[in-house]
Amino acid sequence: MSDIDFTRLAEDIKDWSKNLGFQETAITDVDLSEYDQQLRSWIGNKYHGDMDYMGRNNEKRCDPGQLVPGTIRVICVRMDYAMEKENSFSLLQEPNKAYISRYARGRDYHKLIRKRLQQLAEKIEQVAGKFGYRAFVDSAPVLERALAEKSGLGWIGKNTMLLNKEAGSWFFLGELFTDLPLPVDEPVSHHCGSCTACMDVCPTNAFVESNVLDARRCISYLTIELRESIPEEFRIAMGNRVFGCDDCQLICPWNKFTQLTDEDDFKPRHNFNDIELTKLFLWSESEFLNRTAGSAIRRIGYACWRRNIAIALGNAESTGEVISALRTGLDSPSAMVREHVEWALRQHQD
Ligand code: B12
Ligand code: SF4
């Protein structure tokens, strides 16, 4: 390995990565001490709610070398997923249609990104010989946004998203942990300035301060991570958002620089960008399982799916179709679904 030109290799990695469909790649070391305290205080304040996995393995989360021994560099990548340039709130103003967050309208991104990272590693191996590496996307105790910020892929905005001056924030992150002594890239400056649009627009006031999200109030958490009853105080504010929430990105001025993806996997399936709530609510469990195969939505299960849609139907216009769809949920085997349906029907009583 001693005769490898690591500066040249780092440049090649960035080219190969681009050819594999990542819009940008940058390299950082593994010193996350700057972020350690912020993570600890977030957990200490219980802002992670029921996401128990966030409360565990935080030594490893803040130290990639503990998660994968031998790691000294992290190759960070980002992949755009936006299908539309316009950052419009219009679907959120159509109460009888479902708002499914943009990242979840196509196929699940985990497999695709992990596969591409694996291909990148194999390409590196052809030049550098056998080396230590592991690919991550989303699932493991990895502080992805902190690593991406350190590497210079962007800055962490007040909405806690990683933002990029040329691309906004509609992209996924992934990493290749490695033991190669590659040269590291420099972080970029922050560009939120005095703007607070994302914090102001949040329907449930989930930002307790700049850069700090109380996940327990975030519609993304409530609709995707929470497996129990959704607290009533948030139900009206959820509007028609049935899976995730995009408001803090839709409002962000940096998203006027949104770059469109040409990945087939991210194309909306089953009209997830334009579909009636009643249609989704009336799916049987087997229809749910078939239609969400390969989608991030499947992971929440049928009961949580119906729980979320019941709330949106409670917020929809009072039509015969809405009421009769809701009534089909009254004999759901899930007590949670029945309780949400009863709440929704009450919204249509006055
Ligand atoms: C848990 C989680 C969630 C939780 C909690 C979100 C949160 N803000 O922490 C919930 C379910 C709410 C969620 C929602 C979403 N998520 Co999410 N989520 C994660 C996950 C698994 C861990 C994030 C985490 O570590 N949170 C803990 C907090 C403390 O960490 P953090 O926000 O990264 O914060 C660090 C910095 O903000 C830092 N900090 C930096 N500067 C400053 C300045 C100050 C003053 C302070 C106090 C702190 C601070 O402190 C923190 C600790 O180091 C990551 C994947 C991963 N393994 O990293 C994806 C991830 C962050 N999610 C992602 C996405 C796409 C989303 C959604 C857009 C999905 C949706 N449409 O519904 C929303 C966005 C909501 C939002 N504004 O964050 C992407 C983000 C891509 C990007 N461009 O940033 C990730 C990276 C997944 C991926 N691989 O692409 N998510
Ligand atoms: S909306 Fe404004 S404050 Fe929020 S992330 Fe975008 S630029 Fe930063």
The residues with which 99 forms a beta bridge, in sequence order, are 241
Q: What is the rounded CA–CA span in Å between residue 217 and residue 237? A: 11
Angle between helices 6-19 and 109-128 (to 10 degrees): 140
Taking Cα atoms as reference points, which of 246, 250, 248, 267 lies closest to residue 258? 250
Cite the active site residues.
138
In this structure, the number of other CB atoms found within 10 A of the CB of residue 346 comes to 10
Angle between helices 301-314 and 320-327 (to 10 degrees): 150
Helix, strand, or coil (residue 338):
helix
Handedness of CA 137, 248, 79, 71 (dihedral sign): negative
Point out the ligand 2 atom lying closest to the alpha carbon of residue 251. 1
Extract the runs of DSSP E, i.e. beta strands, from the chain. 24-28, 73-80, 99-100, 133-136, 155-156, 162-163, 171-178, 207-209, 212-213, 241-243
What's the gap in Å between 343 CA and the centre of ligand 1? 31
Q: Is the CB of 250 under 6 A from ligand 1?
A: no
Q: What angle do CA 169, 259, 89 make, to 5 degrees?
A: 65
Question: Residue 85 has what pLDDT?
Answer: 84
Going by CA atoms, what residue is nearest to atom 4 of ligand 2? 198
Going by CA atoms, what residue is nearest to atom 1 of ligand 1? 54
Measured from the alpha carbon of residue 161, the closest ligand is 1
Q: Is the CB of 341 under 6 A from ligand 1?
A: no
Q: Over the stretch 243-269, which tens digit does the pLDDT of each residue have?
A: 999 999 999 999 999 999 999 999 999
Residues 6+ apart with CB under 8 A from 86: none
Q: Is the CB of 213 under 6 A from ligand 2?
A: no
Residues of the chain with confidence (pLDDT) below 50: none
The residues with which 135 forms a beta bridge, in sequence order, are 176
3-state secondary structure 185-233: CCCCCCCCCCCCHHHHHCCCCCEEECCEECHHHCHHHHHHHCCCCCCHH
Question: Residue 2 has what pLDDT?
Answer: 66
